[in-house]
């Protein structure tokens, strides 16, 4: 009797699986954690790409543990970072600790797992762009006119404690030009530019970078119309005598590559 029941159970299961396969229903494809980012060394978020869903509703979960620990934890916040993400608030973020994480995809037909990803928060810092970019043409008496640029650090970063340092770059170009001219501004939040052509409309942006991590995105473009008149003196007023300072130009279609010793280098 027991053998008949077991045979019937196996037959039913095989029939179910065969029906699912005929209907194109499969276990989910392998997900991939493709990006982790911290805006301020205090919180961070990781995002994953789902694999195929196998034609069935699929659930995803992210689990992690810190290096040296065996206890596994599930993602504390699937909401803040948007779809297919896990956000770690301050109470879950530790500097100089390696997080080992994995995403599990499950549907009615089975499960699949992403590769393990090793993340050190120290090396995935990418701040938000600077704020309140202001641009003005200054024309002091008895001196050459210049372009004065000023901005504020991103609000999520606390620079008062001294454990977070930001460096800045400015880029500008005439509205119809193909190349940007880039100037390094160091830690200061204002800058003077003298390499301008009168009568031109200029586009100006600024970005920032922490001591460890990646450049932020460029700030929104600010426009400035340079008055007609004598050409302004070439050069930049700050850092032009510094040994490491070299104004440079890049294509407006180009991208700068930043290389660090980060364990994770997939910030996009």
User: What was the pLDDT predicted at 27?
Assistant: 83
User: What was the pLDDT predicted at 248?
Assistant: 44
Residue 263 lies in a domain: no
pLDDT, tens digit, for every residue of 79-97? 999 999 999 999 999 888 8
Same domain, 100 and 161: no
Same domain, 148 and 90: no
Number of domains in the chain: 2
Q: What is the maximal distance between C-alpha atoms in the chain?
A: 108
Same domain, 135 and 93: no
pLDDT, tens digit, for every residue of 113-130? 999 999 999 889 999 999
Residue 203 has pLDDT above 70, yes or no: yes
pLDDT, tens digit, for every residue of 224-241? 988 876 554 433 434 343
CA distance 184 to 193: 11
Same domain, 91 and 139: no
CA distance 53 to 25: 9
pLDDT confidence of 155, banded at 50, 70, 90?
confident
Residue 154 has pLDDT above 60, yes or no: yes
Residue 252 lies in a domain: no
User: What was the pLDDT predicted at 26?
Assistant: 80
CA distance 154 to 166: 10
Of the chain, the percentage scoring pLDDT greater than 70 comes to 73
CA distance 216 to 214: 6
Residue 265 lies in a domain: no
pLDDT, tens digit, for every residue of 18-55? 444 445 678 888 999 999 999 888 899 999 998 877 77
User: What was the pLDDT predicted at 161?
Assistant: 63
More confident position, 80 or 109:
80
Residue 64 lies in a domain: yes
Residue 268 lies in a domain: no
What residue numbers bound the domain in which 49 lies?
26-123
Question: The domain that contains 72 carries what CATH number?
Answer: 2.60.40.10
Residue 259 lies in a domain: no
pLDDT, tens digit, for every residue of 158-171? 666 656 789 999 99
Residue with tokens 């340092």: 165
Same domain, 164 and 90: no
More confident position, 247 or 258:
247
E strand map for 121-198: 131-138, 146-152, 166-174, 179-186, 190-193
- pTM beyond 0.75: the answer is no
Domain end among 97, 123, 149:
123
Pairing of β 248-251 and β 179-186: antiparallel
User: What was the pLDDT predicted at 230?
Assistant: 54
Domain end among 68, 97, 123:
123
Same domain, 105 and 144: no
Coil vs helix vs strand at 169: strand
Residue 83 lies in a domain: yes
Mean pLDDT of 176-200: 89
Same domain, 75 and 107: yes
Same domain, 115 and 141: no
Same domain, 161 and 194: yes
Which range, of 186-195, 244-253, 257-266, averages the lowest pLDDT?
257-266
Same domain, 100 and 36: yes
Residue 105 lies in a domain: yes
- Could you tell me the two tokens for 11? 């037959």
Domain end among 60, 91, 123:
123
Same domain, 112 and 139: no
Same domain, 88 and 148: no
More confident position, 14 or 92:
92
Of the chain, the percentage scoring pLDDT greater than 90 comes to 45
């Amino acid at each position: 009797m027991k053998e008949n029941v077991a045979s019937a159970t196996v037959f039913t299961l095989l029939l179910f699986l065969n029906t699912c396969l005929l209907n194109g229903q499969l276990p989910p494809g392998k997900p991939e954690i493709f990006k982790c980012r911290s805006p301020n060394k205090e919180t961070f978020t990781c995002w994953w790409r789902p694999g195929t869903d196998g034609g069935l509703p699929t659930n995803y979960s992210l689990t992690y543990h810190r290096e040296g620990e065996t206890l596994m934890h599930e993602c504390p916040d699937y909401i803040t970072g948007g779809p297919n993400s896990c956000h770690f608030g301050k109470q879950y973020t530790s500097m100089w600790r390696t997080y080992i994480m994995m995403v599990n995809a499950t549907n009615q037909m089975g499960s699949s797992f992403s590769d393990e990803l090793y993340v050190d928060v120290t090396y995935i810092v990418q701040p938000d762009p600077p704020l309140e970019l202001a641009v003005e043409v200054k024309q002091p008496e008895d001196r050459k006119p210049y372009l004065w640029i000023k901005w504020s650090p991103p609000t999520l970063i606390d620079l008062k404690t001294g454990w977070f340092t930001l460096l800045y770059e400015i880029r500008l170009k005439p509205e119809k030009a193909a190349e940007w001219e880039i100037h390094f501004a160091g830690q200061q939040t204002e800058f003077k530019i003298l390499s301008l052509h009168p009568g031109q409309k200029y586009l100006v942006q600024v970005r920032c970078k922490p001591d460890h991590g990646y450049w932020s995105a460029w700030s929104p473009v600010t426009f400035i119309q340079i008055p007609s008149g004598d050409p302004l003196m070439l050069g930049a007023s700050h850092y032009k005598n510094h040994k490491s300072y070299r104004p440079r130009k890049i294509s407006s279609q180009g991208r700068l590559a930043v290389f660090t010793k980060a364990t994770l280098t997939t910030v996009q």
